[in-house]
Copies of this chain bind each other. A is one copy, B any other.
Amino acid sequence: MSELARFGVSLENRLLEKYDRLIRKKGYATRSEALRDLIRSELVKKEWEENQEVAGAVTFVYDHHHRGLAGRLTDIQHDWQSLIISTQHIHLDHHNCLEIVAVKGRAHEVEKLAHALRSVKGVRHGTLSMTSTGKAID
């Protein structure tokens, strides 16, 4: 966390009143906190668009009874091991596994890995959580 700067913002009175109501409802204590969150979201979007180093999670669900599937998913993770930090595996029920792969690397590479895992036959659903290494938003 770096030193705090303070700057002034001009905004139409009525707009500011409406925004104050919105952020109060969202549970923010101050305008600075609410704006800081908006600003960080914009910066994280930019990190992904500009193919910078990012962090995230690839989450997918599969049936481990599907023959050869678990092995195939492990193989893919080894092929991309430079991007993968660790993997969390959850037994959702007798059939379904939830696997969450923590990743760090260039945005486009991370997107390719997510696509590779999601499109394996037998994987029922997959998503990519796009967040930041924190460096670009500190």
- The residues of A with any CB-CB pair to B shorter than 8 Å are 1-16, 18-19, 22, 26-29, 31-33, 35-44, 46, 55-57, 59-63, 65-66, 85-86, 88, 90, 92-93, 95-98, 100, 102, 104, 119, 121, 124-138
Q: Which of B6, B7, B95, B102 contacts A31 (CB 8 A)?
A: B7
Please indicate which of the listed interface residues A5, A6, A29, A126 has the most CB atoms of chain B within 10 Å of its own CB: A5
Question: Could you tell me the distance between the alpha carbons of A98 and B92 in the complex, rounded to whole angstroms?
Answer: 23
Q: Is the CB of B92 within 8 A of A104?
A: yes
Copies in the complex: 4
Q: Is the CB of B132 within 8 A of A40?
A: no
Q: Is the CB of B8 within 8 A of A8?
A: yes
